[in-house]
C-alpha cells in the first residue's frame, strides 16, 4: 500500500472535509464513483449503509436480512458516490441466490471501491470472505465494525499490521454509534481517487501443483484480456468448472 | 477478443483440472483458512484471563432450551398480541370518531352544497373515502403497536433463536430450518416473507417455504382475527375472562397456521418436492440492546406506513367496486344481491354464507378490507337500518353493535369460528401472488401457492361445519 503525494495535506484530513459531506439518500444521479458494501451476514453492513447515506434501510439483528441490493448515495468534497449494499454472505464460492447477487455485482458491476464490513469479534471467520473478495478486486477498504463489542470482549486489534498484511486500508468503526464513519468516508474517497493504492493480499497457502496450474491459466487469460486485474480469481473459478464464469468469458462480460 | 483463444483457455482449464485432481476445492478452502489464521495471529490479541461473564450464553441456554424454548416463544407472542389488542382499542375508536362521525358528514354536506350528482357523491365519499377511512381507523393503531414490538424483538436478536427452536420441526417436515425466519417475516407480511426466502439455498426447500408462507397470519388478517374473536368467542365466557378467551383463540389460530405449515411442508417434500434436507449453519448473533427510539421510528416509517399505504391504495378501488355492485341493478336486484344469492348454498356447506364468500372475492387485493365489506353487504342483505344506504361501508362505534349486525345477518358461533379458519386458510392477497410469481418465475408454482390454501380452507371449514351440525 502506497500513499501518493497530494497537493495539500489538509485535503486528506477528515476534519477539513467534514462540512463537505452531504447525505444524498436515494438520489444517485450522475455519480462519480460506485462503492460496493460487502461482508458476512450480521456484521452491520446495513447500519454502515445508513450512516453513510442518511437512509433508514431496515436493519435487524439476524443474519440474512438484506436479500437484495439496496442503493443510496452521498456527496463528499463535490464528488458523488453511489453506494450499493449487498446481501451478506459467508463465501463467494457456492451459489445461493444472495451469494450470486453479491458476487455478480463485484464481478460485473465493477465497483470503484469495495468496502468489506467485518465483525471485529470474529475476524478470523470473516477473513474467509475478505480474502476471496481481495482476489476479485484490488480497490478495497476493510471496515472493522462492532469495535465497541470487541472492546467489551477484551479483543484488541493491531490495525497497522492487519492493514499491511491485507494490503488495503483498515478503518475501525462502531457504526451504530457513528464512530469511525468520517474516517471511513475519507478512506473511501482516497481509494476512489487513487490517493491510496492498494496491493491486496493474494491467497498464499495453496499446494504447488495448484499454484502452478493457476499461474499458467492466469497468464493465458492476461494474454487475451490485457489490463484485467482478477485473472487469478478467474483461473480459480475455471479450475473449479464454474459454468457461469465460463459463459461470462465467452460473452466477454468479464473484460 | 478472439473466440478461438477463449475456447483454448477453457480447453486448457479442463486439462489442468484433470491434472490437479479432485481436491482442488478443499485445498483452496484450506489455503484461505490457513491464510486467515496467519493474519489473525499477527494482529489480533485477546485477553483470555479477563473473560467476562457471558450473559449471551446464559440467555441462550434458557431461550433455546428444550423445556423453556417453546413456552417462552408462545409467552412472547402472547404478550405482543395482548399489548396490541388492549392498546389498539382507544386510538381506534378516536380515529373512527374523527373520520366517520366528523369528517364524513362534513364531506357529505359539502357535496350537497356544490350540488354534486348523487352517483359521484356516493362513489367518491361513500365508496372510496369510507373504505380508506375504515382501513386507517382500524388498521393503523394495531400496526403501530405490533410492528415496533416485533422489531424490538428482532433487533434484540430473538428471531434466530426462534429459528433454532423450530429447526428440528422443519427438518422433520423435510424443509429448511431457515424457513422459521421467513415464517416470522410472514407474520408481518406474506409478500415480505416470500422475498425473504432468498436466504434458503436449495431451490426445493425455497419453493416449500414460498408455498407455505401464507400459513403465517399476516398483518392484514390479525385485525380480522382479533375483532371476530373479541365479538363471538369473548361472548361465550363470563365477561371477566372474555379478553383472555379472545387472546387464546387468536393464538390458537396462529399456532394452527404453523401446524398447517409443517403438515403442508411435509406433504410437499414427500410427494412433488422430494429431496434431501440440506444442512446449514445458523449463527446466533450476540444480543444487542435495541435502540428504542430509533427502532420505534424506523418501524413506523418502514413497516407501518408502507403497509398502510398499500392498504389504502387497494381499499379505495375496492370501496368503489362495492358501491358499484350494490347500485347496479339487473332486473330488480343488484349485482351484489344476485352474487350473494348464488354463493349462499355453497357458503352454507362451509358453515359460512354468501356474503363472506363474496367479501373474500372483493378483498383479493387486500385482506384488510374483508370485515368492512362483510358488514356493508350484510346490512344490504338484511335491510336493517344503521348503515348509510346501499353500498356504503361503515364502521360501528362499538363492537356490540357490530356483533348485532352480524347476528342479524344469521351469524352463529360456527360462522365466527369458520370465518377465523377461512381467514387463515385462503388464497394469498394479490400482492403476495405477484411476488410469488416474481420470485419463482413459474406460473405453475404460483398457481399451486394460490389455490392450495383455498382448497385446504374449503376442506377444513366443511368438516368443522358438518361435525358442528351433528351435535
Each residue's pLDDT tens digit, B153-191 = 877 888 788 888 888 888 888 888 888 888 887 887 788
Q: Which three cell numbers stand for residue A179?
A: 464512530
**A180 and A67 in contact (C-beta within 8 Å)?**
no
DSSP 8-state assignment for residue B241 = G
- Whole-number Å distance between alpha carbons of A13 and A10: 5
Contact between B208 and B273 under an 8 Å Cβ cutoff? The reply is: yes
Percent of chain B with pLDDT over 70: 90
What is the separation of C-alpha B156 from the centre of its chain, rounded to a whole number of angstroms? 22
Which residues in A lie closer than 8 A to residue B47 (C-beta atoms)? Answer: 154-156
Find out whether A115 and A33 touch, Cβ atoms under 8 Å: no
From chain A, pick out residues whose CB is under 8 angstroms from the CB of B16: 213, 216-217, 239
The average pLDDT across B308-329 equals 78
Angstrom distance (rounded) from CA B228 to CA B336? 23
Q: Residue B348: in which H helix or E strand, if any?
A: helix B335-349
pLDDT band at A233 (very low <50, low <70, confident <90, very high): confident
Nearest alpha-carbon partner for B270 in B204, B206, B219: B204
Q: Is the pLDDT of residue A25 over 80?
A: no
DSSP structure string for B358-388: HHHHHTTT-GGGHHHHHHHHHHHHH--SSSS
- Higher pLDDT, residue B31 or A255: B31
For A87, nearest residue in chain B (alpha carbons): B199
Cβ(A74)–Cβ(A52) under 8 Å?
A: yes
A52 — phi, psi (to 5°)? -80, -35
Q: Does pLDDT of A11 surpass 80?
A: no
Q: How far apart are CA B466 and CA B471, in angstroms?
A: 9
Q: How confident is the model at residue B454 (pLDDT cuts 50, 70, 90)?
A: very high
Q: Which of A155-159, B41-45, B320-324, B440-444 has the lowest mean pLDDT?
A: B320-324
Which residues, listed in sequence order, are joined to residue A36 by a DSSP beta bridge? A84, A114
Burial of B396 (0-12, 13-18, 19+ CB in 10 A): middle
Q: Please tell me the distance from the alpha carbon of residue B284 to that of residue A208, in angstroms, as a whole number.
A: 38
Contact B170, B202 (CB under 8 A): no
Per-residue pLDDT averaged across A108-126, rounded? 91
Q: Above 80 in pLDDT, residue B383?
A: no
The length of chain B in residues reads 471
Phi and psi at B67, nearest 5°, equal -75, -50
Give the pLDDT band of residue A4 (cuts 50, 70, 90): very low
Tell me the mean pLDDT in the region B39-48: 83
Percent of chain B with pLDDT over 90: 21
**Can you give the pLDDT at residue A20?**
63
Residues in chain B with CB shorter than 8 Å from the CB of A207 are 27, 31
Across the interface, of A152, A210, A216, the residue whose CB is closest to B24 is A210
Q: Which of A62, A125, A216 sits opposite B181 (nearest CB)?
A: A62
Write down the pLDDT at residue A5.
46
Residue B217, classed as helix, strand or coil, is coil
Chain B residue nearest residue A133, CA to CA:
B32
Average pLDDT, chain B: 82
- Reading phi first (left if > 0) and then psi (alpha if -120 to 50, else beta), residue B286 is in beta
Between A29 and B372, the more confident residue is B372
SS3 for B46? strand
pTM of the model: 0.69
Q: Hey, what's the cell of B202?
A: 436449495
Which one of A44, A62, A234 would you mutate to disrupt binding with B, by most B Cβ within 10 Å of its Cβ? Answer: A62
Confidence band for B216, pLDDT divided at 50, 70 and 90:
very high
Nine cell digits for residue B401:
353493535
Report the DSSP pairing between strands A113-119 and A33-39.
parallel
Contact: B154, A224; criterion CB under 8 Å: no
Tell which wins on pLDDT, B23 or B466.
Answer: B466
Residue B432 CB-density burial (10 A; 0-12 exposed, 13-18 middle, 19+ buried)? buried
If one counts every other C-beta atom within 10 angstroms of the C-beta of residue A216, the result is 14
B54 interfacial to chain A (CB closer than 8 Å) = no
pLDDT at residue number B386 = 46
- Binned at pLDDT 50, 70 and 90, residue A59 comes out as low
d(CA A32, CA A78): 10
Q: How far is A217 from chain B (nearest CA, A)?
A: 7
Q: Of A54 and B451, which is predicted with more confidence?
A: B451
pLDDT mean across residues, chain A:
82
Strands across the sheet containing A170-172: A21-25, A70-76, A79-85, A33-39, A113-119, A140-145, A170-172
Distance CA A69, CA B264 (A): 31
- Provide the shortest C-alpha distance from residue A75 to chain B (in Å): 23
**Strand bridging mode B329-330 / A155-157:** unpaired
Label residue B405 by pLDDT band (50, 70, 90). Answer: confident
C-alpha cell at B423: 381467514
Q: Distance between CA A56 and CA B251 in Å, rounded?
A: 32
> For A145-168, what is the mean pLDDT?
91
pLDDT at B391 over 50: no
3-state secondary structure chain A: CEECCCCCHHHHCHHHHHHHEEEEECCCCCCCEEEEEEECCCCCHHHHHHHHHCCCCCCCCCCCCCCCCEEEEEEECCEEEEEEECCCCCCCCCCCHHHHHHHHHHHHCCCCEEEEEEEHHHHHHHHHHHHHHHHHCCCEEEEEECHHHHHHCCEEECHHHHHHHHCCCEEECEHHHCECHHHHHHHHHHHHCCCEECCCCCCCCCCHHHHHHHHHHHHHHHHHCCCCCCHHHHHHHHHHCCHHHHHHHHHCCCC
DSSP letter (8 states) at residue B232: I
How many CB atoms are located within 10 Å of the residue B312 CB? 17
d(CA B234, CA B242): 4
Measured on CA atoms in the order B230, B234, B240, B241, is the torsion positive or negative? negative
Lowest mean pLDDT among A229-243, B78-92, B419-433: B78-92
A192 Cβ contact partners less than 8 Å away, ≥ 6 residues apart? A32, A33, A35, A79, A81, A112, A113, A139
Tell whether ipTM is more than 0.85. no
Q: What is the mean pLDDT of residues B107-117?
A: 86
Backbone angles phi, psi at A119, to 5 degrees: -85, 115
Instruction: Say how many C-beta atoms besides its own lie within 10 A of residue B247's C-beta.
Output: 21
Rounded to whole angstroms, the Cα distance separating B355 from B374 reads 6
Q: What is the CA radius of gyration of chain A?
A: 18
* Segment A174-209, tens digit of pLDDT: 998 889 999 999 999 999 999 988 899 888 888 888
* Nearest residue, CB atoms, B154 vs list A60, A166, A252: A60
Which of A205, A225, A231, A235 to substitute to test the interface with B, most B CBs within 10 Å?
Answer: A205
Lowest-confidence segment of B19-28, B390-399, B404-413 by average pLDDT: B390-399
For A210, the closest of B20, B157, B291 (CB atoms) is: B20
Task: Retrieve residue A125's grid coordinates.
Answer: 471467520
Cell numbers at residue B466, please?
358438518
Residue of A nearest to B185 (CA): A65
Given a contact cutoff of 8 angstroms between Cβ atoms, the answer to whether B99 and B125 are in contact is no
Q: What is the mean pLDDT of residues B320-326?
A: 81
- Per-residue confidence band for B387, with pLDDT thresholds at 50, 70 and 90: very low
Does B51 have pLDDT greater than 60? no
Residue A115 is predicted with a pLDDT of 96
Q: Closest Cα to residue B179, out of B205, B142, B145? A: B205
For residue A180, what pLDDT is reported?
92
* Grid cell in block for residue A185: 468516508
- The percentage of chain A sitting over the pLDDT mark of 70, rounded to a whole number, equals 81
Average pLDDT on B225-243 reads: 84
Distance CA B422, CA B419 (A): 5
Stronger pLDDT, A136 or B125, i.e. the higher one: A136
**Grid cell of A31 as nine digits:** 455519480
Q: What's the pLDDT band for A57 if we cut at 50, 70, 90?
A: low
**Inter-chain CB proximity A213 and B157 less than 8 Å:** no
Please answer whether residues A201 and A173 qualify as being in contact, where contact means their C-beta atoms are separated by less than 8 angstroms: no
Which pLDDT score is estimated for B346? 93
Q: Is the pLDDT confidence value at A27 over 50? A: yes
Asked if residue B368 lies in contact with residue B139, where contact means CB atoms within 8 angstroms, the answer is yes
CA torsion sign for B133, B138, B140, B141 is positive
**Tell me, what's the pLDDT at A157?**
93
How large is the average pLDDT for residues B352-367? 88
Q: What is the mean pLDDT of residues A129-135?
A: 93
Average of per-residue pLDDT across B427-442: 89
Of residues B64 and B262, which shows the higher confidence score?
B262
Amino acid at each position: 500500500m502506497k500513499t501518493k503525494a497530494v497537493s495539500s495535506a489538509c485535503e486528506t484530513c477528515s476534519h477539513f472535509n467534514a462540512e463537505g459531506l452531504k447525505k444524498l439518500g436515494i438520489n444517485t444521479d450522475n455519480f462519480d464513483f460506485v462503492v460496493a458494501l460487502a461482508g458476512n451476514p450480521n456484521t452491520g453492513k446495513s447500519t454502515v449503509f445508513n450512516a453513510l447515506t442518511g437512509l433508514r434501510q431496515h436493519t435487524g439483528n439476524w443474519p440474512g436480512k438484506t436479500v437484495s441490493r439496496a442503493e443510496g448515495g452521498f456527496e463528499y468534497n463535490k464528488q458523488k458516490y453511489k453506494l450499493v449494499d449487498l446481501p451478506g454472505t459467508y463465501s463467494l464460492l457456492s451459489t445461493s441466490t444472495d451469494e450470486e447477487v453479491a458476487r455478480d455485482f463485484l464481478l460485473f458491476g465493477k465497483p470503484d471501491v469495495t468496502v468489506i464490513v467485518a465483525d471485529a469479534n470474529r475476524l478470523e471467520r470473516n477473513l474467509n470472505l475478505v480474502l476471496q473478495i481481495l482476489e476479485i478486486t484490488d480497490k478495497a477498504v476493510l471496515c472493522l465494525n462492532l469495535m465497541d463489542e470487541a472492546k467489551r470482549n477484551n479483543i484488541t486489534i493491531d490495525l497497522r499490521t492487519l492493514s499491511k498484511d491485507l494490503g488495503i486500508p483498515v478503518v475501525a468503526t462502531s457504526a451504530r454509534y457513528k464512530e469511525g464513519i468520517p474516517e471511513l468516508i475519507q478512506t473511501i474517497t482516497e481509494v476512489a481517487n487513487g490517493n491510496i493504492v492498494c496491493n491486496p493480499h493474494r491467497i498464499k497457502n495453496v499446494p504447488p501443483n495448484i499454484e502452478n496450474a493457476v499461474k499458467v491459466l492466469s497468464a493465458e487469460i492476461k494474454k487475451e484480456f490485457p489490463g484485467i486485474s482478477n485473472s487469478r480469481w478467474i483461473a480459480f473459478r475455471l479450475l473449479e468448472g464454474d459454468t457461469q464464469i465460463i459463459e461470462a468469458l465467452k460473452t466477454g462480460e468479464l473484460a | 477478443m478472439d473466440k478461438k483463444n477463449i475456447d483454448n483457455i477453457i480447453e486448457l482449464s479442463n486439462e489442468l483440472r484433470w491434472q490437479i485432481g479432485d481436491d482442488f476445492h478443499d485445498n483452496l478452502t484450506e489455503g484461505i483458512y490457513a491464510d486467515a489464521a496467519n493474519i489473525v495471529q499477527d494482529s489480533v490479541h485477546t485477553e483470555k484471563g479477563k473473560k467476562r461473564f457471558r450473559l449471551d450464553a446464559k440467555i441462550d441456554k434458557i431461550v433455546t432450551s428444550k423445556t423453556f424454548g417453546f413456552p417462552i416463544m408462545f409467552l412472547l407472542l402472547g404478550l405482543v398480541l395482548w399489548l396490541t389488542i388492549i392498546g389498539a382499542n382507544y386510538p381506534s375508536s378516536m380515529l373512527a370518531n374523527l373520520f366517520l362521525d366528523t369528517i364524513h358528514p362534513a364531506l357529505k354536506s359539502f357535496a350537497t352544497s356544490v350540488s354534486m350528482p348523487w352517483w359521484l357523491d356516493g362513489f367518491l365519499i361513500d365508496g372510496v373515502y369510507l373504505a380508506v377511512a375504515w382501513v386507517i381507523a382500524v388498521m393503523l393503531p394495531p400496526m403501530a403497536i405490533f410492528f415496533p414490538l416485533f422489531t424490538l424483538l428482532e433487533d434484540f436478536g430473538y428471531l434466530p433463536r426462534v429459528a433454532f427452536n423450530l429447526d428440528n420441526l422443519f427438518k422433520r417436515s423435510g424443509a429448511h430450518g431457515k424457513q422459521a425466519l421467513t415464517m416470522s417475516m410472514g407474520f408481518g407480511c406474506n409478500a415480505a416473507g416470500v422475498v425473504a426466502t432468498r436466504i434458503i439455498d436449495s431451490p426445493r426447500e425455497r419453493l416449500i417455504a414460498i408455498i407455505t408462507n401464507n400459513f403465517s397470519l399476516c398483518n392484514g388478517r390479525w385485525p380480522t382475527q382479533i375483532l371476530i374473536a373479541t365479538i363471538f368467542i369473548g361472548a361465550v365466557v363470563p365477561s371477566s375472562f372474555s379478553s383472555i378467551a379472545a387472546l387464546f383463540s387468536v393464538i390458537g389460530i396462529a399456532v394452527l397456521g404453523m401446524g398447517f405449515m409443517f403438515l403442508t411442508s411435509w406433504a410437499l417434500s414427500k410427494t412433488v418436492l422430494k429431496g434431501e434436507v440440506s444442512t446449514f449453519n445458523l449463527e446466533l448473533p450476540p444480543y444487542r440492546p435495541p435502540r428504542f427510539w430509533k427502532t420505534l421510528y424506523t418501524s413506523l416509517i418502514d413497516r407501518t406506513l408502507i403497509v398502510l399505504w398499500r392498504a389504502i391504495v387497494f381499499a379505495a378501488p375496492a370501496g368503489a367496486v362495492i358501491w358499484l355492485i350494490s347500485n347496479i341493478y339487473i332486473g330488480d336486484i343488484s349485482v351484489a344481491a344476485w352474487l350473494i344469492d348464488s354463493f349462499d348454498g355453497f357458503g352454507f356447506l362451509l358453515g359460512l354464507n354468501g356474503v363472506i364468500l363474496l367479501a373474500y372475492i372483493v378483498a383479493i387485493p387486500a385482506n384488510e378490507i374483508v370485515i368492512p365489506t362483510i358488514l356493508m353487504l350484510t346490512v344490504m342483505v338484511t335491510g336493517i337500518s344503521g348503515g348509510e344506504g346501499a353500498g356504503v361501508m361503515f364502521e360501528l362505534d362499538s363492537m356490540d353493535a357490530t356483533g348485532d349486525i352480524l347476528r342479524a345477518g344469521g351469524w352463529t358461533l360456527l360462522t365466527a369460528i369458520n370465518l377465523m379458519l377461512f381467514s387463515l386458510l385462503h388464497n394469498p392477497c394479490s400482492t403476495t401472488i405477484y411476488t410469488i410469481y416474481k420470485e419463482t418465475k413459474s406460473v405453475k408454482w404460483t398457481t399451486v401457492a394460490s389455490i392450495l390454501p383455498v382448497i385446504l380452507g374449503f376442506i377444513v371449514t366443511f368438516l368443522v361445519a358438518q361435525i358442528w351440525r351433528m351435535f
